[in-house]
Amino acid sequence: MTYPTEGHPALLRGGDVIIIGGGLVGLATGAALAARGADVSIVADHNAGEASRAAAGMLAPSVERAEGPAHAFALAARDLYPSYIEALAEVTGTIVSLNREGILELMFDEQQAHGKRSTLASLGGQWLTPEELHALEPAIGTAVGAVLHPGDGAVDNVALLRVLREMVEATSSVTIIHDRVTSIDLENERPWVELASGRTMIASKLVLAAGAWSPGVDGLPRSIPIEPVRGQMMSLGATPVRHVTYAGDGYVVPRSSSLTVVGSTMEHVGFSTGTTPEGMRTLAEVAKRVSPTLGDARPLERWSGLRPVTPDLLPILGRDPDYPTLLYACGHSRNGILLGPLTGECVAALASGETPSLDLSPFSVERFEGSRVTIK
Ligand SMILES: Cc1cc2nc3c(=O)[nH]c(=O)nc-3n(C[C@H](O)[C@H](O)[C@H](O)COP(=O)(O)OP(=O)(O)OC[C@H]3O[C@@H](n4cnc5c(N)ncnc54)[C@H](O)[C@@H]3O)c2cc1C
């Protein structure tokens, strides 16, 4: 490939690190790199169905449970949130709302409840009888009991994304470029990036943080198994329930004093976005199952987003084994809001030549090597 030489108007300096993608993961990584003194460019395209804005914002490592070091990473990600929000507030003056009331998991039949109760001791949840549940959340409808997962909760991901973007935009060592990376070239000592606008960028390192679109960047040294999985969402104009509450095939998340978010479907429909009457019916049933008051609440908005889903639902984090100038920060599947800020810290540490504070080995891209896997 021939590239413009230094000084050519089509050649942009990318600084120390170019981040591909301006969702929560890209922005959190950019902010963490800037805090380490790096010069960063974030190339941020806009696509319908971007996950970070569409998400429910749950911080649910106990319900969406991983195993071993991946679970330890998820708990650490959840527990980073209070200080992360506080640090953001110190810089921007805006406090992003964080709910750490715990998450309720409702049980609707005795057999399911019995199975759950027998594993509770090892999972760290607390069993609530129907009476205890009613005392905690009087607006919740009929259930045979519930598990309370203390410590879990939710963040207002829409506000988080806005505040983080504002902070990054105001940081002099970060440049946001509204463009699309079409291809990368890792063969030189310093990697090159080509943009849809025809410009070329060069930097010392690249971070791939393009969510569900990550596999579509040309020039990646390996195929990465990330598939878009659509989730439909709706919001309702009432908040009778204070806790994030799971009810079988969906959940409700109180977001403000008069808005509850209801989610979500898991649909393998490629990059198609939008909502369907069937999807909305499913969500309305979830809301009603949690609370009759929610069932009667006024529908406000409906939308959908594309989760970047890997076969084992864990993200891909860390250096490429053959091209260490490329770092992966993608494939966060159902838990990218939970994992985003800690991902940013760990990937920024790696890119700066430090050892990340947590074990990233469960997330290595090499775990998919040679195995043909089916996306769940
Ligand atoms: C309906 C729904 C509900 C969810 N609920 C939760 C939840 O409750 N809790 C939780 O933890 N997680 C949840 N998730 C998952 C979470 O939203 C994602 O894992 C996370 O947002 C992924 O962040 P990201 O930055 O990698 O991707 P995205 O937010 O999708 O951002 C990727 C960005 O990269 C840009 N891009 C793509 N290609 C290029 C390119 N070539 N060049 C430049 N830019 C590019 C895209 O336009 C986009 O802006 C949910 C997701 C959905 C869809």
pLDDT band at residue 376 using 50, 70 and 90 as cut-offs: very low
How many angstroms separate the CA atoms of 252 and 29, rounded? 29
Cα–chain center distance at 72: 17
Between 119 and 270, whose confidence is greater?
270
pLDDT band at residue 65 using 50, 70 and 90 as cut-offs: confident
Atom 22 in ligand 1: which residue has the minimum CA distance?
Answer: 336
SS (H, E, C) 296-325: CCCEEEEEEEEEEECCCCCCEEEECCCCCC
From 271, 316, 332, the mutation candidate for ligand 1 (largest count of ligand atoms within 8 A of CB) is 332
Q: Which numbered atom of ligand 1 lies nearest the CA of 338?
A: 11
From 262, 334, 339, 342, the mutation candidate for ligand 1 (largest count of ligand atoms within 8 A of CB) is 334
Convert the pLDDT of each residue in 165-213 to its tens digit.
Answer: 999 999 999 999 999 999 999 998 999 999 999 999 999 999 999 999 9
How many angstroms separate the CA atoms of 351 and 16, rounded? 9
pLDDT of residue 370: 60
pLDDT of residue 371: 44
How many angstroms separate the CA atoms of 125 and 146, rounded? 10
pLDDT of residue 3: 64
pLDDT band at residue 4 using 50, 70 and 90 as cut-offs: low
pLDDT of residue 250: 97
pLDDT band at residue 113 using 50, 70 and 90 as cut-offs: confident
pLDDT of residue 372: 40
pLDDT of residue 145: 95
Convert the pLDDT of each residue in 326-362 to its tens digit.
Answer: 999 999 999 999 999 999 999 999 999 999 999 999 9
How many angstroms separate the CA atoms of 49 and 54, rounded? 7
Q: Is residue 264 pLDDT above 90, yes or no?
A: yes
pLDDT band at residue 1 using 50, 70 and 90 as cut-offs: low
Tokens representing 330? 């993608």
Among 224, 226, 193, residue whose Cα is nearest residue 19: 193
Q: Is residue 295 pLDDT above 50, yes or no?
A: yes
SS3 261: strand
Cα–chain center distance at 182: 23
How many angstroms separate the CA atoms of 112 and 144, rounded? 10
Q: Is residue 374 pLDDT above 50, yes or no?
A: no
Convert the pLDDT of each residue in 161-175 to its tens digit.
Answer: 999 999 999 999 999
Neighbouring-strand partners of residue 254: 260
Q: Give the residue-averaged pLDDT of 89-96.
A: 96
- CB 60 within 8 Å of CB 152: yes
pLDDT of residue 117: 84
CATH of domain 103-150+227-309: 3.30.9.10
- CB 285 within 8 Å of CB 240: no
Specify the DSSP class assigned to residue 113. H
pLDDT band at residue 64 using 50, 70 and 90 as cut-offs: confident
- Give the CATH architecture of domain 1-99+152-225+310-376: 3-Layer(bba) Sandwich (3.50)
From 24, 269, 272, the mutation candidate for ligand 1 (largest count of ligand atoms within 8 A of CB) is 24
Q: Give the residue-averaged pLDDT of 115-127.
A: 82
From 103, 232, 335, the mutation candidate for ligand 1 (largest count of ligand atoms within 8 A of CB) is 335
Q: What is the CA(44)–ligand 1 centre distance, in A?
A: 12
Q: What φ, ψ does residue 344 adopt, rounded to 5°?
A: -55, -45
How many CB atoms within 10 Å of residue 157?
Answer: 26
What's the half-sphere exposure (Cβ side, CA atoms, 13 Å) at 226? 29
Query: For the chain, which residues make up each domain, given as ranges?
Result: 1-99+152-225+310-376, 103-150+227-309
Residues with CB under 6 A from ligand 1: 20-26, 43-47, 50-52, 54-58, 180-181, 209-213, 217, 231, 233, 263-264, 305-308, 330, 332-338
Q: Give the residue-averaged pLDDT of 136-158.
A: 96
Q: Are strands 145-149 and 126-128 parallel, antiparallel or unpaired?
A: antiparallel
Q: What is the CA(354)–ligand 1 centre distance, in A?
A: 26
- CB 234 within 8 Å of CB 280: yes
pLDDT of residue 15: 87
Q: Which numbered atom of ligand 1 lies nearest the CA of 53?
A: 29
| Average pLDDT taken over every residue of the chain | 94
Among 184, 228, 220, 208, residue whose Cα is nearest residue 316: 208
Cα 267–272–275 angle (5° rounding)?
A: 70
Q: Is residue 127 pLDDT above 60, yes or no?
A: yes
Atom 20 in ligand 1: which residue has the minimum CA distance?
Answer: 336
pLDDT of residue 7: 66
Residue 196, CA distances (Å) to 22, 122, 178, 362 in order = 16, 51, 10, 34
Burial status of residue 188 (CB atoms within 10 A of its CB: 0-12, 13-18, 19 or more): exposed
Residue in the block written with tokens 């001791």 = 121
Q: What is the CA(359)–ligand 1 centre distance, in A?
A: 23
Q: Give the residue-averaged pLDDT of 1-24.
A: 80
Q: Is residue 373 pLDDT above 80, yes or no?
A: no
Q: What is the CA(334)–ligand 1 centre distance, in A?
A: 9
Specify the DSSP class assigned to residue 363. G
pLDDT of residue 375: 38
What's the half-sphere exposure (Cβ side, CA atoms, 13 Å) at 247? 26
Same fold, 1-99+152-225+310-376 and 103-150+227-309: no
From the CA atom positions of the chain, what is the Rg in Å? 21
Percent pLDDT > 70 in the chain is 95
Q: Is residue 251 pLDDT above 80, yes or no?
A: yes
